[in-house]
């Protein structure tokens, strides 16, 4: 009952490279430790490379698992392990019954977000760190935006501000959405992909944290009014091209917004940062 001739002919995994016993005698020949490369990793590499290089774009579809099993000359399980890794890195998405195969999502920052989330949950990063960092990012972004903003940027910011105004005292959801858009536009105007990315991530995390701390509904009208005024001031500074003022306004707005959430000692620490920077 030998279900089949179990030959495993295509066993070509990279671990065939055994560490060479360094019996050459001379001391000046040194070898580095070998980490066996597993089959699924080489599949991940190939697909990841294709996505990074743009040969696979957002919206494309991977071949089905059975098809890849043939193309990569591995078993289905191995293909699936690679799929799981790619999926957890936010590069693809697969769902059962999809005749197209897994969908390519392109490059994203979801893995980055998950990492920060874990560090926050694990108490490696405190709320004060997040607020502090966001003040740095936001003030830098606003300074840059004040210098680099185009007319289109100003128009878009104006629209976002008007949306906030329209939603004040009425629709917190819409207000919050416009708020997020405003900050995104500033980050975009700063013309630095990293500032944009990291600030986005930290902004999201902070919003999640405060959402779990205080009920959203408590964010009353007066809070929104105040926030609106802050944004208007910032936009005015950006429009005038006064980088230092834009940076200062952004920092102070954030501080007023979040200082109530911080422990007193953290609050003084953040104030200390403000003084140390003394940017404005």
Partner DNA sequence: TTTAATTTGTTCGTATGTATG
Partner DNA sequence: TCATACATACGAACAAATTAA
Q: How far is the CB of 21 from a copy of itself (least distance, A)?
A: 19
Task: Select the residue interacting with DNA from 54, 55, 57, 66 (CB under 7 A).
Answer: 66
Site string for a copy of itself, 51-90 (x = CB under 8 A): xxxx----------------------x--xx--xx--xx-
Show the tokens assigned to 78. Answer: 């191995």
Is position 177 an interface residue for a copy of itself (rule: CB under 8 A)?
A: no
Residue 97, C-beta contacts closer than 8 angstroms, at least 6 positions apart: none
Contacted by 98, from a copy of itself, DNA, none: CB < 5 to 8 Å by type: DNA
Indicate the residue among 43 and 224 with the shorter CB distance to a copy of itself: 43
Neighbours of 200 (CB within 10 A): 18
Whole-angstrom Cα distance, residue 207 to residue 181? 14
Task: Select the residue interacting with a copy of itself from 17, 70, 111, 214 (CB under 8 A).
Answer: 111
Task: Select the residue interacting with DNA from 46, 71, 88, 98 (CB under 7 A).
Answer: 98
Q: Cα 254 to the chain's mean position, in Å?
A: 20
From the number of C-beta atoms within 10 Å of its C-beta (0-12, 13-18, 19+), residue 223 rates as middle
Beta bridge partners of 61: 103
Interface stretch with a copy of itself, choices 26-34, 56-64, 254-262, 270-278 (CB under 8 A):
270-278
Is position 239 an interface residue for a copy of itself (rule: CB under 8 A)?
A: no
Is position 22 an interface residue for a copy of itself (rule: CB under 8 A)?
A: no
Is position 170 an interface residue for a copy of itself (rule: CB under 8 A)?
A: no
Only one residue has tokens 């707005």, namely: 253
From the number of C-beta atoms within 10 Å of its C-beta (0-12, 13-18, 19+), residue 56 rates as buried
Is position 122 an interface residue for a copy of itself (rule: CB under 8 A)?
A: yes
Rg (CA), the chain: 26
Whole-angstrom Cα distance, residue 261 to residue 223? 14
* Residue positions counted in the chain: 280
Is position 94 an interface residue for DNA (rule: CB under 7 A)?
A: yes
Look at residue 195 and give its three-state secondary structure.
helix
Task: Select the residue interacting with DNA from 47, 51, 56, 74 (CB under 7 A).
Answer: 74
Residue 179, C-beta contacts closer than 8 angstroms, at least 6 positions apart: 164, 227, 231
Question: Which parts of the chain are beta strand (E)?
Answer: 92-93, 103-104
Tell me which residues touch DNA (CB under 7 A).
2-4, 6, 8, 10-11, 13-16, 18, 36, 38-40, 62, 64-67, 73-78, 80-81, 83, 94-99, 101-102
Tell me which residues touch a copy of itself (CB under 8 A).
1, 15, 36, 40, 44, 48, 51-54, 77, 80-81, 84-85, 88-89, 95-96, 107, 109, 111-112, 114-116, 118-119, 121-122, 124-126, 129-130, 132-133, 136, 140, 143-144, 146-148, 191-195, 197-198, 202, 243-244, 269, 272-273, 276-279
């Amino acid at each position: 009952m030998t279900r089949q001739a179990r030959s495993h002919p295509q066993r070509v995994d990279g671990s065939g490279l055994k560490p060479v016993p360094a019996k050459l005698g001379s001391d000046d020949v040194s070898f580095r430790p070998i980490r066996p490369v597993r089959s699924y990793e080489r599949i991940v590499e190939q697909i990841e490379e294709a996505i990074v290089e743009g040969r696979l774009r957002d919206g494309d579809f991977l071949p089905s698992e059975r098809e890849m099993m043939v193309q990569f000359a591995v078993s289905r399980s191995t293909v699936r392990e690679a799929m799981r890794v790619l999926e957890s890195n936010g590069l693809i998405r697969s769902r059962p019954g999809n005749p197209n195969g897994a969908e390519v999502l392109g490059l994203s920052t979801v893995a980055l977000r998950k990492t920060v989330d874990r560090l926050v949950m694990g108490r490696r990063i405190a709320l004060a760190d997040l607020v502090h960092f966001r003040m740095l990012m936001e003030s830098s972004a606003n300074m840059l935006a004040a210098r680099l903003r185009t007319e289109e940027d100003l128009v878009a910011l104006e629209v976002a501000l008007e949306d906030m105004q329209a939603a004040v005292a009425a629709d917190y959801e819409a207000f919050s959405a416009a708020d997020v858009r405003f900050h995104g536009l500033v980050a975009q105007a700063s013309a630095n992909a990293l500032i944009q990315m990291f600030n986005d991530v930290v902004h999201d995390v902070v919003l999640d944290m405060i959402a779990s701390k205080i009920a959203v509904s408590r964010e009353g009208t007066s809070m929104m009014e105040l926030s609106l005024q802050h944004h208007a001031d910032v936009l005015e500074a950006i429009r005038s091209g006064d980088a230092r003022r834009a940076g200062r306004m952004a920092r102070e707005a954030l501080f007023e917004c979040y200082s109530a959430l911080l422990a007193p000692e953290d609050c003084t620490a953040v104030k200390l940062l403000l003084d140390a920077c003394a940017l404005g």
